[in-house]
Amino acid sequence: RMSRHTQQLRDHDINPCVAETDASRKCMDDNNSNKDMCTAYFLKYKNCRKFWHNIMMQRRRNGVKPEMPSAEERKKILESVG
C-alpha cells in the first residue's frame, strides 16, 4: 500500500507534474540511471514545477481556493497559454 504522501504525489489534482515525473523516472530506468541521457526530461519537469508554482503563488495572493487548480482547470489554463 502506498503512503499518503506517495498517493498525493500520484494525485493529478495535487501534483500537476505527474507525467513529467513518470517520464523522468522511466528515462532513468531505461538508461541505467545515466542522468546525462535524461536532461530534457529533467528540464521539462523543472519547467512544469516552476510554471505551476507561479500559478499557485498568484492564486494564493489573490485569495483563490484551492491554491493549486484541479487537473481539469489546469487543462484549460494550459490551452489558454497555448
Residue 79, amino acid = E
Contacts of 34 (CB under 8 A, 6+ apart): 28
- Cα-only R_g, the chain: 14
Domain count across the chain: 1
Domain that holds residue 62: 4-80
For 70, which DSSP code? P
Looking at residue 10, its pLDDT comes to 78
Looking at residue 14, its pLDDT comes to 82
Q: How confident is the model at residue 13 (pLDDT cuts 50, 70, 90)?
A: confident
For 21-59, the pLDDT digits (tens) are 999 999 999 999 999 999 999 999 999 999 999 999 999
